[in-house]
Structure 1
Amino acid sequence: MHSNLEKVLKEQKNVKVINATIDFQDYVTLDLSANHTDQLDLNLTDAVVFEAFIENHLSENNAKVAFGGYLETRNLYRRSEVFKNEITDERNIHIGLDLWIKAGTSVLAALDGRIHSFQDNTALGDYGPTVILEHTIENLTFYTLYGHLSLESLNGKAIGQIVKKGNQIATLGAPPINGDYAPHLHFQIIKDMQGKKGDYPGVCSKNEIDFFTKNCPNPNFLLKIE
């Protein structure tokens, strides 16, 4: 009998996916919903302006990491054809958790597992360098995706390579290598990779939300950032 993934995620303890020395009390939420960013009159397409906005948010809140964004409807993606073309509905609902902190920050394996796949997703607004790990707990196999990494993060990687929980697997990338965003980790949990390798949608359209909510549960079930 397969356990429920949500239950398995909630049972895991002391999970960190970036710099383990930073305590969760030094994290602050960040609202990047369309409603909020439209009010701010903020140019989200300029990575330098965006990074200054993040840095300011962190210093105002005396925090080291800004986080949030699961199931957030955003305008961030409008600059890129990756998220909208004539055939598809606009994909603007974020289905991972973002952790905003400086480029070069260490990225850690959430849990024991192995490297499923990795690649550089180079389109504007895409993930840039990406690593996907495969985990099996209580006979349940699922995946964690780490996006917006540095190019060096792909060096020496091999499919099937064993990783241990808390091991450094990458560092955060800087724009434009990271998809041209202010530096952050996109962290996502995926039940079924649907045959994909090195990439998986991190944003979906309104029509797809039921499927993706089930296939990509809230990463905070695992991280438990208060």
Structure 2
Amino acid sequence: MTRASTIATALASQPDLYGVLRQLGAKLPELTLAEVLSAAPMDEARRLRGVDQGLLRAVIRSGQGKSAAPNEDALRSFLAQTPVAPLFLPPIGEADSIALLTRGERPDMPAFSDRAFDTWFALQAVPYGLGSYGEKRSVYATDQFADSASPERRTYHLGIDVFAPAMTPVYAPLPGEVAFVTYNADPLDYGHTLILKHEANGVSFHTLYGHLAGTLPNLCKVGASIAAGQLIAHLGDWHENGGWAAHIHFQIMADMLEQTGGNFFGVGHESLWDVWQSICPDPNLILRLPPDRFQV
């Protein structure tokens, strides 16, 4: 059987094309996405072209035993040794906080998208609430978080959430350059969004700050240099942050894939969690909070 026929047979009528790509990456040496698309049956090729092509390449690399994000190791090494500025003042690590887990650990806690959350959080009498990286959240199990390559919804949280009052100032943890200042207006999207580009050990990476206030465009201009510790944003209120209680979604991207519109995936597939962990490492590499801060 030729490589092309092997690819076509493996992909034909399969609901989960991500899983097939990973298997093909392990089976066929030096497999490329171009080769897959050329050999794929028409319907499966259409489905694959409807997905971020960088993500598909990352899945193939994972099947080949490589890091899904080529610069992951360099990034992790850089973050392990570079000083960082606090995202908030007072620093989260020097103030009280509570973990805001969403899978029943706090039965009385309203959903983050329920306006009753504001009153509930105020009664906790702490400066910060923390939503964890890698948490599986049922709020994302809708068509908005699906794609054509698989019926699986993206439900694993790729950032760390920090809840605090609207208009709380946000500061840059690292020096960088403003890559995107956008307003992502879909319900339960980021609302006002900032993405910074950074350099690390000769490679670039990005950080994302979602659910911000309308002050963002006056604070950050695309192409501007940002210093560590510089005021870059404020937390947005419900009407400007995508329809959530005031908080920031903070995320690292080792690879922007083919996302060029000032947005990025905030949740990933459970079945591809190893891939997403490479693309979007734990933001606590920058926040550097004790693990128990994310436990109830």
Which TM-score applies when normalising by structure 1? 0.86
Counterpart residue number, 1:96:
159
- Supply the distance in 2 between the matched residues of 1:181 and 1:138 (Cα, whole angstroms): 36
1:54 maps to a residue whose letter is: F
Alignment of 1:1-226 (within 5 A): 4-18=74-88, 20-22=89-91, 24-36=93-105, 40=107, 42-44=109-111, 46-57=113-124, 59=125, 63-78=126-141, 81-84=143-146, 88-155=151-218, 157-197=220-260, 198-226=262-290
SS at match of 1:117: strand
Q: Which has the higher helix share?
A: 2
Distance 1:98 1:25, change over 3 A: same
Q: CA deviation at 1:85?
A: 7.3
**What is the rounded CA distance, in whole Å, between the counterparts of 2:287 and 2:246 in structure 1?**
20
- Structure 2 gaps of 5+ residues are 1-70, 291-296
Q: Report the Cα distance in structure 2 between the residues aligned to 1:45 and 1:137, rounded to whole angstroms.
A: 34
Which residue identity does 1:82 align to in structure 2? Q
Residue 34 of structure 1 aligns with an amino acid whose one-letter code is R
For 2:287, give the aligned amino acid: L
- Report the structure number with the largest CA radius of gyration: 2
Aligned residue for 1:56, secondary structure, equals: helix
Select between 152-161 and 172-181 the one with higher mean Cα deviation: 152-161
Runs of 4+ in 1 over 3 A off after TM superposition: 84-88
Identity level (%)? 29
> For this pair of structures, how many residues does the alignment match?
217
Instruction: Assess if the C-alpha contact under 8 Å between 2:143 and 2:153 holds in 1.
Output: no
User: What is the RMSD computed on CA atoms of the aligned residues?
Assistant: 2.2
Task: Report the residue type matching 2:145 in the other structure.
Answer: F
Shift in Å at residue 213 of structure 1? 0.5
Question: In the alignment, residue 118 of structure 1 is paired with which amino acid?
Answer: V
Deviates more, 1:7-16 or 1:168-177: 7-16
- Partner secondary structure for residue 209 of structure 1: helix
Q: What is the DSSP-based 3-state SS (H/G/I as helix, E as strand, rest coil) of the residue aligned with 1:103? A: coil
TM-superposed CA distance for 1:53, in Å, is 2.6
Query: Could you say what secondary structure the match of 1:125 adopts?
Result: coil
Q: Is the Cα–Cα contact under 8 Å of residues 172 and 231 in structure 2 kept in the other structure?
A: yes
State the distance in 2 between where 1:222 and 1:46 align. 26
- CA change 1:5–1:98 in 2 (3 A) is same
Q: Which amino acid aligns with 2:134?
A: L
Structure 1: gaps (5+ residues):
none
Cα shift readout 1:16-75 (whole Å, capped 9, x = no counterpart) = 112x334513142413232435xx165416432122232233x1xxx3111231001112
Post-superposition offset of 1:139: 1.1
Distance in 2, matches of 1:51 and 1:178, equals 14
Provide, for residues 142-198 of structure 1, a one-character-per-residue CA deviation record: whole Å limited to 9, x for no partner: 100000001221236432110001101111100031111110011001011113231
How high is the TM-score relative to the length of structure 2? 0.67
Higher relative contact order (CA 8 A, sep 6+): 1
